[in-house]
Structure 1
Amino acid sequence: MTLELLHKPSMAQLTSLGIGGNARVLAKVRDEAGLDELSRFVEREGSGLIAIGEGSNLLAGDGELNLALVQIACRSKAEALISGTRVLAPADMRLPGLLATLIKNGLSGMEGLAGIPGSVGGSVAMNAGSYGTDMQSSVKRVRLWTPSKGLFWKDTADLEWGYRHFSIGQNNGSEDDFFLVWEVEFELTRSTEEEVRGRIKNNFEKKKSTQPVTAKTAGCVFKNPEGYSAGRLLDEAGFKGKKIGGMGFSEMHANFLENKGNGTAAQALELMDQASEAVAEKFGVTLKPEVIILS
């Protein structure tokens, strides 16, 4: 079976936040041949399909959710191929695993992404970033899949990138609204194993000292408004450590929601609403979610 269909998958098990009800269906693409079957699945489902990676930036609603999800989960172990300073990584490779490969090969350019969970594909789709760098900075080209075109490569310059934003820039009608990131080619610079390891270790330790990297979170809840730190605004509005039931803003960093045990989406969304209103009232600044809300 190259495309596995799971009915009523648990969103709590598919997301790092560990909350949410059951989606309607999850299509797991097991290999490249499964993409042919995926085309038929997309045709049957129509619009509204959602691609997910490791679920590290998702907040799923409670109860039964009318969601059709697609996930790349190849049977073969996800490994990167190295050619000089170029690195080819499959979308379902975890970003920490890619960084470990870069350490071994002494390749520099992505050290600022230390401590970011999730898959390579998901990190590109969100243009994940940290410590002054983001995915766009190192990506040379991306191999994409759409129902009408199949697999094809696009150079970084031909893609649309922004702050926690990525788009393949297609204008081919609704049938291509859905896309998958299948592979990513990175262009890095030569360094040494010791130097790359040192920079990654320093960045991770810095992040670990200020962010709840081992807790059940979905990363930053809100985007940083231009000229502001969302975490600082939330902290000054009194939301650091604020809880409702099993959900609460982190005591380490106010822009992280933690599932402290048996948390629900209703509690998370209520906290987000209260925080947004308080920041708008106190500072006149509108907070926009960085976490993707699925309901």
Structure 2
Amino acid sequence: MLRIVEAPRLASLTSLHLGGRALALAAFESAVDLEALPEAARRIGGRITPLGGGTNILAADGELPFLLVRCGIGGVTEETGEGGETRLIRVGAGMKLPRLLTWCMKRGLSGLEGMAGVPGDVGGAVAGNAGAHGVDMGTVLRGVEVFTPDRGLRMLGRDEVRCAYRSFGLKDDGAPWFLITGAVLTLRRAEPESIRTAMRENIERKLRVQPVRSWSAGCVFKNPPEGLSAGKLLDEAGFRGKRLGGMCFSDRHANFLVNEGKGSADAALELVRSAQDAVRERFGIQLQTEVKLWVS
């Protein structure tokens, strides 16, 4: 059954702990539940907005015109059909990335070690083509299961979707909205201990240079196409540690926006705009946000 929660607080649903109230949250745990979503969307109104794990979102304060949708389809299975050292796995969009990486490590399936320490769930990682340490979801993506209001549930091959730096889309994008419900990934056989070692090293590296344990939404800005680091540009523009109204750019990594406990979305958005202005004025580069800005 499609479960509807009225007027949820985004501050309780996002890793930045910021944001006002959405119109509603629709949660589903099976493909059958999705059949009721288009009618619920017509009744409630607002913009259909996948929530995922809430880890890459900066939501404004106040009343927001969103119908949030959260996928509860988890689980992962190893599939047949690949030869040699390559294996396919099918995973639900609601599965948490750390849990998936542990599952793969125990079974000696390699390819996702670079994602160690990345929070959120599989659906959000595919939708944002999340990546770290030279690996992104597009690298291992073989297929993606999506739901659209016009065509229902279907599996798309890798050639039917677009994956680029921190972006994902459907090549047949005529539908007004789509939801990712699962993915098929191509991995390769390796020794579990070597996978465990690589994961541990990647997590330790993150702990040294990123505010992993803080209230954050990950990197605020994409690295610009000029090949420069957004963090380095922000650092040189004086934004490392810059604070406003309980929010700050991290002292540890200038591209991480942190809620120090009593921050507001207004202050966060002002810091983001100020950073963009400063980098543009000093370097002539317009930084694009990697974090999703949910404003009315």
**The TM-score by the shorter chain falls in which range?**
over 0.9
Residue of structure 2 equivalent to 1:256: 256
> Does residue 1:82 correspond to 2:110, yes or no?
no
- Indicate the RMSD between aligned Cα atoms, in angstroms: 1.3
Residue of structure 2 equivalent to 1:106: 108
Shift of 1:47: 6.6
Instruction: Write the distance in 2 (CA, Å) between the matches of 1:83 and 1:152.
Output: 18
Residue of structure 2 equivalent to 1:223: 222
* Identity rate, percent: 43
Residue of structure 2 equivalent to 1:5: 4
Q: Give unpaired runs (5+ residues) of structure 1.
A: none
Shift of 1:183: 1.0
- Call closer, same or farther: CA 1:47–1:270 in 2, change over 3 Å: closer
Shift of 1:282: 1.1
Amino acid at match of 2:75: E
Residue of structure 1 equivalent to 2:117: 115
Residue of structure 1 equivalent to 2:232: 232
Amino acid at match of 1:79: G
Residue of structure 1 equivalent to 2:133: 131
Amino acid at match of 1:207: K
Shift of 1:171: 4.1
- Call closer, same or farther: CA 1:46–1:149 in 2, change over 3 Å: farther
Shift of 1:80: 1.1
Shift of 1:46: 5.8
Amino acid at match of 1:279: V
Amino acid at match of 2:17: G
1:4–1:30 CA contact under 8 A, matched in 2: no
Helix, strand or coil for the counterpart of 1:188?
strand
Query: What is the TM-score with the length of structure 1 in the denominator?
Result: 0.95
Helix, strand or coil for the counterpart of 1:144?
strand
Shift of 1:30: 2.8
Shift of 1:245: 1.6
Helix, strand or coil for the counterpart of 2:138?
helix
Residue of structure 1 equivalent to 2:23: 24
Residue of structure 2 equivalent to 1:209: 208
1:27–1:70 CA contact under 8 A, matched in 2: yes
Helix, strand or coil for the counterpart of 1:218?
strand
Query: What is the TM-score with the length of structure 2 in the denominator?
Result: 0.94
CA deviation string 1:19-50 (max 9, x = no partner): 11111111111322211111212343567211
1:42–1:147 CA contact under 8 A, matched in 2: no
Residue of structure 1 equivalent to 2:68: 69
2:160–2:172 CA contact under 8 A, matched in 1: no
**What is the aligned length?**
288
Q: Give unpaired runs (5+ residues) of structure 2.
A: 81-86
